[in-house]
Structure 1
C-alpha cells in the first residue's frame, strides 16, 4: 500500500513480486551487456555502477528505526549485490563505486571494498522538511578531475559508521514508538 512501484507495474504471469522471479528477470537483462562491461573494465581505471534499487540491506536503517518497517522487503535484491561484485570484484577496490537510490536516505559508506552512495534529490515535501539528510538537495558531484570526491556526511551512514547494527534489538526507535503511541 505504501510503495507505488507495485501498483504502477504489471508483470507477465510467470513473474511475481512475492518471490525472486522479478529480481532474477531484471538481473538477467544485464547479460546482454556483458561484452560492454568487459570493455569498460579493460579501458577504465575507475568504474561507477548505478542502480535504482538498494544492493544491500545494510544500506538501509534497521527495521526498528523505520516508520515503515516493511521497507527492507521492497528495496532491492541479493542479485543486485552479486552483479555489482561481478563488476567491481569480490573484494572491491578504491576504484569501485556504486550509486543507488529508491529509499531517499542519504548514504555514503564503504562496505567490503566498494563505496556506496545515495544522494537523493527527494520529493518536494522531503526537501521542504529537510528530510533524510539532503545536502541542499542539489546533485552530488561524485567524481571530478580524475578522482572520487571526499566522503559525504549523511545521517544514517554516519550513524552506522560509529554504531553497530543490532538486528536482535526489537525496541522501536523513540521517533517510531511515538508514532504508535498516537
Structure 2
C-alpha cells in the first residue's frame, strides 16, 4: 500500500520533523502537553483578574481541546490524526478559566476543519484560514474571504456557517463502535 508511510504519527505529521525538543520532552508520552500547559501557570494572576472583571471570556489555542471537535477516525483519510492534535490538559485548562461564565467561547485551530458547536456549555469555534488550496475549495473559490468575527458590540456573533463536521454531528450521533470506513475514505484507500 502506498500509504505505509502513514502508519506512524511521527512520519505523517510535519510537527515531528520541524520541531526539536529538549531530551526530557517526548512526543511519545504526555511530557510535551504537560510542559506547554505549565507555561500557562505564569499567567494565573492575569486570568484571575479577567475572571473577576469580565462577564464574557474568549480563550484561544492552536491545538484541539476535545476529541469531539474532530471527526471520528473512520471519517478521516489519516485515522491517527486524533492522537496528535490536542490534549486533555488543554480542555481542563479551558474549563478552569471559563468556570461558570454564562457565555464562554474557545477558539482553536490545527485541523483546518470549520467547526462551531457548543459542548458542555462552551462554544468551540474553528474558522481556519487554511492552506490556499483548501480556502479555494471551501470558500467561494477563495475570493473575498474575510476572517470570521466572533465578538463585536458586546456580544458573540451568530453561528459560523457552513460547518460541515459540526453540522454533521449536531444531526448525527457519534458512533465510536462503527469501524466501517466512510465511503470517501474507503475509495481513497482502494485507489492506492
TM-score bucket of the superposed structures, by smaller chain: over 0.9
Specify which of 83, 87, 90 is matched with residue 80 of structure 1. 90
Give the CA RMSD over aligned residues: 1.6
Q: How does 1:93-172 map to 2 (within 5 A)?
A: 93-130=101-138, 137-153=145-161, 154-172=163-181
CA displacement at 1:180 relative to structure 2: 1.1
CA displacement at 1:93 relative to structure 2: 4.2
Name the counterpart of 1:2: 12
CA displacement at 1:95 relative to structure 2: 1.5
Asked if 1 retains the 8 angstrom alpha-carbon contact of 2:104 and 2:123, the reply is yes
| Alpha-carbon separation, structure 2, partners of 1:23 and 1:57 | 15
> Structure 2: 5+ residue runs without aligned partners?
1-10
| Alpha-carbon separation, structure 1, partners of 2:13 and 2:48 | 35
1:115-166 CA deviation, whole Å, 9 max, x = no partner? 00000010011112228xx996421010011000111120000000010000
After TM superposition, the score normalised by the length of structure 1 is 0.94
> Structure 1: 5+ residue runs without aligned partners?
none
Specify which of 32, 52, 56 is matched with residue 62 of structure 2. 52
After TM superposition, the score normalised by the length of structure 2 is 0.89
- Alpha-carbon spacing, 1:11–1:141, altered in 2? closer, same or farther (3 Å): same
Number of equivalenced pairs: 178
1:76-112 CA deviation, whole Å, 9 max, x = no partner? 00000000000012xx543200000000000000000
Secondary structure in structure 1 of the residue aligned to 2:52: helix
- Alpha-carbon spacing, 1:111–1:25, altered in 2? closer, same or farther (3 Å): same
Asked if 2 retains the 8 angstrom alpha-carbon contact of 1:108 and 1:118, the reply is yes
Name the counterpart of 1:71: 81
